[in-house]
Amino acid sequence: MTKANNDGRKGHARKRKLAARDGMVCWLCDKTMASLAKVHCSVDHFTPRSLGGSDAMANLRLTHPLCNKVRGNILGVDEARARVAAYHALAPTRSAKRKKRRAMGQVHRLTFEQKLAAQKQDEDADVFATERYAG
Ligand SMILES: [Zn+2]
């Protein structure tokens, strides 16, 4: 296990307990998590720590790291889930476009020329494309 995937023995045991209790499901977006590894799964405080929430199991939920980040410190369940849903509705483009490129047989790491070609294809396919390829 790499460091990036490791929560430490205690952290991982806690995730396993939460998964056993709630399932491998993100409480913010209702989608399943690929694994309990840190890149796929984080522990969210139902009542944020910054607002006095505790580390007790009753206050913990499993989430995707991104959903957790998007939620921030929003307290209301409906508000938090609505914010995460809105985020995912507005920002699916990056993974969708990567998936499309993969389906076309392109490798994950594109050369500069491939990036330009992909950008051209995306622009051709969708004149309203807003994604930048500066990165
Ligand atoms: Zn999620």
pLDDT tens digit sequence for 1-43: 455 567 888 889 999 999 999 999 999 999 999 999 999 999 9
How long is the chain? 135
Ligand 1 centroid – CA 97 distance (Å): 20
Q: How far does the centroid of ligand 1 lie from the alpha carbon of residue 60, in Å?
A: 14
Give the distance (Å) from ligand 1 centre to CA of residue 107.
Answer: 26
Q: pTM of the entire structure? A: 0.64
Residue 95 is predicted with a pLDDT of 67
- Give the residue range(s) of CATH 1.10.30 domains in the chain: 3-90
Give the separation between CA 69 and CA 83, rounded to whole angstroms: 11
Distance from the CA of 29 to the center of ligand 1, in angstroms? 4
**CATH of the domain spanning 3-90, picked from 3.90.220, 1.10.30, 1.10.3470, 1.10.10:** 1.10.30
Q: In angstroms, rounded to a whole number, what is the distance separating the alpha carbons of residues 74 and 70?
A: 9
32: which DSSP letter? Answer: B
Query: What would the pLDDT profile of 60-70 be if each residue is shown by its tens digit?
Result: 999 999 999 99
Residues forming beta bridges with residue 60, ordered by sequence position = 45
H/E segment holding residue 42: strand 42-45
